[in-house]
Amino acid sequence: MKVFQIIIILFLASSMDALSQQFWLNKGKISNQNLTKCSFVDTLNGWAVGDSGTIIYTSNGGASWTIQNSKIREYMTNVFFLNKRLGWAIGWGLNPDFYGTYILKTTNGGNTWDTSRYHVPDTYIRTIYFMDSLTGFMGGGPATLLKTTNAGINWYKCGIDTTNVASLFPVSKFRFYSRNYGFAFGGVMDIAGVVWITTNNGNFWDAKIVAPEPITDAKFYDSLHAVAIGGDYEYGASILKTTNGGVNWDYKNMEIFGVPRALSFRTESEGWAAMGDLPKFFMTLDSGSSWNEVDTPDTARVFDVTFINNKFGVGVGMFGVFVKFNSALINIGENISSVNKFSLKQNYPNPFNPNTTIEYVISDISRVEIEVYNLLGRETETIYKGIKPPGEYKVRFSGSSYPSGIYFYRLIIKDIKTGNTKAITKKMVLLK
């Protein structure tokens, strides 16, 4: 047990965060189906796809949604919109009538969808991406990298080195830094994670195995620096970083259960990964050098996440859940910072019997701990330990099972951005 250097005794039966701010807000259920992917072209217009051929559309930033007719009833794996009118979606045919991939296209924002079929035995498309209205790419597996230069009317195979075993793995994500310079990511669980690199507009892709688990998404800061995420259910989440344009990747297992499904950055340094089956986000504040777990609202399982700007971020997931980034936190942090960056208030009432409330204020994203010590200076309990966004918080304590006496509560704040740690301790009195 830790020893604290002042006289203390305390109680503690229960605690409650009464004014806790949340990074993400649960905006409710927007579909009866699981939602796998979403695509927003601005802060108003967005689409989400999911099970049973589900495609839904919002024109007001997610406040309301309408169902669009995909004309299929299959599992939808991906959706991509270039603008408010032009978009594509991918579905898998898994019935006796058709085993293969449905490619859906709309030119009117999803009011109508045209469907074509892509069929190669034992091959399914997982992802689709367009640079412009004509040039696009599809990826899947095994060994499937396709390109179109006529808006998807025709697709042809991109060049790969078939003698390289890495080229044979399935592709699940595209990320282009420029028109010529791009990456694809994928792999197979329990076998390998693979990166494909192109320097000639996707005509040829060079593949290499860089991890023991599949890679699901990535963020490029410039032509040299990037961070990627991946993982599997046995070993958990992993992070990869490159500082030389993908020639070499540094791999690190994060020892956190769960598989990151998608990655999007709110700012150049702050990024969020949706953890899928795990009711958490994976968050970085230093461009991927370190990561922290953040609970999703109401234990939501989020499969996809995207930011349009530093104030507008959304996610979709299991059971049709829709979450939005709490943009009010940005203003909260600015307002608090201008008044009082870090404070712990005196509990009230004080003396108390048997309940009391403690308030504290933080203006930056911080790791927070609230500790309790006894008269011998030993820590008896950690009331709370976790990450908090900027805000004012209340914690209520009950001393019903403790004797009268003088008690001390200690607040420890570690700024995630700077690593600086501060602590404040205050006294409270329980009178029965």
Contact 405, 430 (CB under 8 A): yes
Residues of the chain with CATH 2.60.40.2550: 15-19+333-430
Q: How far apart are CA 301 and CA 295, in angstroms?
A: 10
Question: What residues contact residue 153 under an 8 Å CB cut-off, 6+ apart?
Answer: none
pLDDT of 406: 82
Structure confidence at residue 149 (pLDDT): 98
- Residue 419 above 60 pLDDT? yes
Q: What is the pLDDT of residues 178-211, one digit of tens each?
A: 999 999 999 999 899 999 999 999 999 999 999 9
**pLDDT band, very low/low/confident/very high, at 21 (cuts 50, 70, 90):** low
Cβ atoms 392, 359 nearer than 8 A: yes
Beta strands (DSSP E) in 14-123 are 15-17, 24-29, 35-40, 46-50, 55-58, 66-68, 75-81, 87-95, 98-106, 114-118
pLDDT attached to residue 335: 46
Which residues of the chain does CATH 2.130.10.10 include?
24-326
Alpha carbon separation from 234 to 113, 191, 214, 398 (Å, rounded)? 39, 12, 12, 40
- Range with the poorest average pLDDT among 25-34, 46-55, 176-185, 350-359: 350-359
Could you say which architecture CATH assigns to the domain 24-326? 7 Propeller (2.130)
Q: What is the pLDDT of residue 269?
A: 87
* pLDDT tens digits along 33-52: 999 999 999 999 999 999 99
Q: What is the full DSSP assignment across 320-379? A: GEEEEE-THHHHHHHHHHHH-SEEEPPPBSSSBSSEEEEEEEESS-EEEEEEEE-TTSBE
DSSP 163: T
CATH topology of domain 15-19+333-430: Immunoglobulin-like (2.60.40)
Is residue 1 scored above 70 in pLDDT? no
Residue range 143-156: mean pLDDT, rounded: 95
* Confidence bin at 330 (pLDDT 50/70/90): low
